[in-house]
Chain A
Amino acid sequence: MADFKHKDIIALRDLTKEEIERLLTTAESMREINNRDIKKVPTLRGKTIINLFYEASTRTRTSFEIAGKRLSADTVNITPSSSSATKGETLADTALNLLAMKPDIIVMRHAVSGSHYFLSKKLPSCSIINAGDGTHEHPSQGLLDMLTMKDKFGRLDNLKVAIIGDITHSRVARSNIQGLTKMGSQVFLAGPPTMMPPGAELLGNVTVCCTMKEAIQDADVVMMLRIQQERQGKTLMPNAREYSRYFGLNPENIKLAKPDAMVMHPGPINRGVEMSSYVVDGDQSHVLKQVENGVAVRMAMLYHVCGGELE
């Protein structure tokens, strides 16, 4: 297997199939640490990780923080309410100021798509990990979703994965599309026409379906997306009840998928909108497994970007 030689992890689009496999294999090994009494290894001792979150997050930020701490790095969290961004500082200035404190890795979430590429150019000496940028990518979520699928099926090729919901605004969907199609799985998308980007079929090797039924028919994985009210205007759907009726996952339509199909959701879940509580808490739900795998995947990402001898 080829060595992982990237300084940054910004998008799964930038990684090869082999590099994704390497990250997942490392994550599988990292999992053992999370089940010990002493959940810590000395690997990143003396490294400083700054978690720079311009958007709200509980799961991802906590997960990156725990991942850093389990590898013995020092982690510092900066959130919008406590940062200078509210006082008008630009991203470039914030970045240069942080750099003066010599961090080794900056994990950033930002509302502007592609902002990490800008940051990476500004900070050539520091590794940048994307924890979600606008509507572009969310690579750690894509990787943890794939790890959860690999746990269940033992492979990532020839799976039928249905992704349902607000595709336009979903960076989770984009990362999963990039990753899964590279691994050789088929992705089917469905959502209200107002939430389907024009030219969605150009996102990669995907099939755009007109109805949810078509997409989840015989699916191995049904991935439900959150309705992102903070990113949408008010006009994308008439109301939550109507959305739920046509694009919500419930005990009835889930029967269209394969009997052992897994149900996933990146969280946070709007119960009763994209998924009924019955499904969220049902046997097929892997939502908490996803969160558990998140820590291991992020440990793998932090570990691999810290390697030296870059080309």
Chain B
Amino acid sequence: MAAEKTVILDGAGVRRALTRISHEILERNKGLANVVLIGIRSGGAYLAAEIGDSLAVIEGEKAAVGAVDITLYRDDISGQIPHLPVGKTEIPFSLEGKKVILVDDVLFTGRTIRAAMDALMDHGRPDSIQLAVLIDRGHRELPIRADFVGRNVPTSLKENVQVIFDSENKPVEVILEK
């Protein structure tokens, strides 16, 4: 099964996109007061760490970074799929009154985001949740929209978009498989 692969964003492109998202986050929230980053395992968690680093460089202060695993909140878990491994949710701080930037790698149907928001609500009542994604590939099945987008990529349902990470969980490139 030799899938046709196209690179839609290379390493430098990913870095620029994340830097721009970081600036937009600062602009929208007027700094980093009460801002926390929560990445969705596993791609989103890696990207949240990258955005965290980039915010620290730009602003000179650090935002708290956490990770959420949504497996237990999936809506397709009931008896249809062999049970997936459950990753660790690590949110070692309170979300009460925080502005949460939820980070994912690829925004597709929106079901992952729905699950992640339910998971976050079980950890407390944040002031707001904003969504940052590296790629928005369309085909939403729920009324969900990203606040910060790295790149909009129109796709067909047969295609697959993947963010590739290296062994140190740094983003390498984004590919489109046909």
Interface residues of chain A, those whose CB is within 8 Å of chain B, are: 1, 3-5, 22, 25-26, 28-30, 32-33, 36-38, 40-43, 45-47, 71, 300, 303-304, 306-310
Q: Is the Cβ of B122 less than 8 Å from the Cβ of A41?
A: yes
Q: State in angstroms the CA–CA spacing of A22 and B119 once bound together.
A: 22
Q: Is the Cβ of A26 less than 8 Å from the Cβ of B82?
A: no
Distance from B115 Cβ to chain A, minimum over Cβ atoms (Å): 9
Q: Is the Cβ of A40 less than 8 Å from the Cβ of B86?
A: no
Q: A29-B88, A29-B89, A41-B122 are in contact. Are A3 and B72 (CB under 8 A)?
A: no
Q: Is B78 an interface residue (CB 8 A)?
A: yes
Q: Is the Cβ of B122 less than 8 Å from the Cβ of A306?
A: no
Q: Tell which of A32, A33, A38, A304 touches B83, judged by Cβ atoms closer than 8 Å.
A: A304
B90 contacts across to A, CB distance below 8 A: 32
A33 contacts across to B, CB distance below 8 A: 72
Q: Is the Cβ of A3 less than 8 Å from the Cβ of B69?
A: no
Q: Tell which of A5, A38, A71, A308 touches B122, judged by Cβ atoms closer than 8 Å.
A: A38
Interface residues of chain B, those whose CB is within 8 Å of chain A, are: 69, 72-73, 77-83, 85-90, 118-119, 122-124
**Cross-chain pairs A/B with CB under 8 angstroms, 27 sampled:** A3-B82, A5-B82, A22-B85, A25-B85, A26-B85, A26-B86, A28-B88, A29-B69, A29-B87, A29-B89, A32-B89, A36-B123, A41-B122, A42-B72, A43-B72, A43-B73, A43-B77, A45-B78, A47-B78, A71-B72, A303-B72, A304-B83, A307-B81, A307-B83, A308-B78, A309-B81, A309-B82
Q: Is the Cβ of B72 less than 8 Å from the Cβ of A308?
A: no
Q: State in angstroms the CA–CA spacing of A308 and B69 once bound together.
A: 20
Q: A29-B88, A37-B124, A38-B123 are in contact. Are A46 and B82 (CB under 8 A)?
A: no
Q: State in angstroms the CA–CA spacing of A252 and B77 once bound together.
A: 52
Q: State in angstroms the CA–CA spacing of A136 and B101 once bound together.
A: 51
A28 contacts across to B, CB distance below 8 A: 88
Which of B73, B118, B122 is packed against the most chain A CB atoms within 10 Å? B122
A29 contacts across to B, CB distance below 8 A: 69, 86-89
CB-CB nearest 8 A-B residue pairs: A307-B83, A308-B79, A29-B86, A3-B82, A41-B72, A43-B72, A307-B82, A38-B122
A42 contacts across to B, CB distance below 8 A: 72-73, 118
Q: State in angstroms the CA–CA spacing of A156 and B101 once bound together.
A: 38
Give me 4 other A-B pairs in contact (C-beta within 8 A), A30-B86, A41-B73, A43-B73 excluded: A26-B86, A41-B72, A41-B119, A42-B72
A308 contacts across to B, CB distance below 8 A: 78-82
Question: Dominant SS at the B interface?
Answer: loop
A36 contacts across to B, CB distance below 8 A: 122-123
B78 contacts across to A, CB distance below 8 A: 45-47, 306, 308
Q: Is the Cβ of A306 less than 8 Å from the Cβ of B83?
A: yes
Closest residue of A by beta carbon distance from B80: A308
Distance from B127 Cβ to chain A, minimum over Cβ atoms (Å): 17
Distance from B67 Cβ to chain A, minimum over Cβ atoms (Å): 11
Q: State in angstroms the CA–CA spacing of A61 and B168 once bound together.
A: 43
Closest residue of A by beta carbon distance from B88: A29
Q: Is the Cβ of A40 less than 8 Å from the Cβ of B89?
A: no
Q: Is the Cβ of B86 less than 8 Å from the Cβ of A306?
A: no
Which of B86, B87, B88 is packed against the most chain A CB atoms within 10 Å? B86
Q: State in angstroms the CA–CA spacing of A46 and B72 once bound together.
A: 14
Which of B77, B87, B90 is packed against the most chain A CB atoms within 10 Å? B77
A309 contacts across to B, CB distance below 8 A: 80-82
A303 contacts across to B, CB distance below 8 A: 72, 83, 86
Q: State in angstroms the CA–CA spacing of A260 and B44 once bound together.
A: 39
B80 contacts across to A, CB distance below 8 A: 308-309
Q: State in angstroms the CA–CA spacing of A37 and B69 once bound together.
A: 17
Q: Is the Cβ of B82 less than 8 Å from the Cβ of A4?
A: yes
Q: A38-B122, A41-B73, A43-B72 are in contact. Are A306 and B79 (CB under 8 A)?
A: yes
Q: State in angstroms the CA–CA spacing of A252 and B91 once bound together.
A: 43
Q: State in angstroms the CA–CA spacing of A257 and B118 once bound together.
A: 48
Distance from A22 Cβ to chain B, minimum over Cβ atoms (Å): 7
Distance from B105 Cβ to chain A, minimum over Cβ atoms (Å): 20
Q: State in angstroms the CA–CA spacing of A71 and B72 once bound together.
A: 8
Distance from A33 Cβ to chain B, minimum over Cβ atoms (Å): 8
Q: State in angstroms the CA–CA spacing of A288 and B86 once bound together.
A: 25
